[in-house]
Each structure stands twice: as structure tokens, then as C-alpha cells.
Amino acid sequence: MTRLVAVLVAAVLALAGCGVPLDDEPRAIETPGVLNAPGSTAPDQAGTAVLRLYLVRDGRLVRVPRRVPALLGPHQSLTALLAGPTADEAAAGLTSALSTMSVTGLRLADHRATVSIADPPDQLVRSDDVLGFAQIVCTLTSQTEVGTVSFEANGQPLAVPRADGSLADEPLTIADYNGLL
């Protein structure tokens, strides 16, 4: 019996020594080897943020990461999108289909962004109209605060074209424009 107790005590002491020890305060982690293995990208500059905009190239949506000094919210992201491509982006063949659209406001409630459009044309079926709405929906839903986007004109819901050409007056997501990506 004494031998069994001694074996159990030894086993408990051995198991107590296993595991990760707790530190009283944070400590630096040693990182041996190469962190930037071949095929991975170099780390970005410290203190920069990425804004994901959707611009147009050859009739298709292109996600464009743009470096900004700090994280931008939905309002600032929409403002940046409406300003159009930078000189470097334009030189790379990127454009915007929003030049004919007049956005007058943005409201956020319950993860839905409602974008106000001034005086939309009677027929919203031109390909640049589809791309314009797609740019707004995809850019806004890339923000964590926005899950869906709906549109209005003169305070009334506005039916806008999806990638497949159908009109939708319900909230939209990036999935509605997958065919344009």
C-alpha cells in the first residue's frame, strides 16, 4: 500500500510539472528562424491602416487596398470612394463608375447603411449604374460596422440593379455583385 501511495505521489508531482508556466508580467517572445518565409509579404509599416475600396477596371469591380493614416469609418470610406481613384490608381487603369451619381447622405442603423441618392434617372439599368451601386455596396460592406446597404431617393426606397440586372429594393450585400468581381 505504501508503495502505491508513493507511486501516486510521484505521478501527481510529475504531472504538476507539465504545462506552461505562468509569468507574473508580460515578456518578450523569442522568435528563432525566419518569420518572413518565401512567398509571404513583408510586414506593413507600423501605424498604417488599410481602406478597402472597390474601383472599376475593364468593366469589372476590383478591390483596391489604399493606405490611410488611421482606420476610417463608413462615412469617410464613402467619401474616399466618391473622390475617385488616386493618380497612381488611375495610372494602373482603375476608374470609377460613380461620376454620374450624386450621393447626398449616409445613415447607419443596426448594421445597415442607407445611402441617399439625389434625383436618380428613371431607368437604372446601364452597366455603369450597376457598377456604381456595386462600388458603394462592396466598399461599405467591407467595413465591420456595415452588414447590408440599401438606397433611397427623396426619402423613398430605391430599387437598384444587381449584377444579374434584376432590381432590388431590399438591403444588398457583396454577394449581390459577385458576378462583377
Query: Using the 8-state DSSP alphabet, how is residue 47 labeled?
Result: T
Write the DSSP string, 105-125: EEEEETTEEEEEESS--S---
* Model pLDDT, residue 40: 31
Contacts of 149 (CB under 8 A, 6+ apart): 112, 113, 114, 115, 136, 137, 140, 141, 171, 172, 173
> How many angstroms separate the CA atoms of 73 and 23, rounded?
38
pLDDT at 149 over 50: yes
| 14 band by pLDDT with thresholds 50, 70 and 90 | low
Domain residues of the chain, as ranges?
Answer: 49-180
| 143 band by pLDDT with thresholds 50, 70 and 90 | very high
Mean pLDDT of 71-76: 92
Mean pLDDT of 121-141: 79
pLDDT at 110 over 70: yes
pLDDT at 124 over 80: no
pLDDT at 78 over 80: yes
State the pTM of this model: 0.71
> How many angstroms separate the CA atoms of 14 and 124, rounded?
73
β-sheet bridge partners, residue 55: 62
| Contact indicator for 151, 104 with CB cutoff of 8 Å | no
The one-letter amino acid at 85: P
Which uninterrupted H or E stretch holds 16?
Answer: helix 2-16
* Model pLDDT, residue 100: 73
Between 171 and 11, residue with greater pLDDT: 171
| Contact indicator for 157, 141 with CB cutoff of 8 Å | no
Percent of the chain with pLDDT over 90: 52
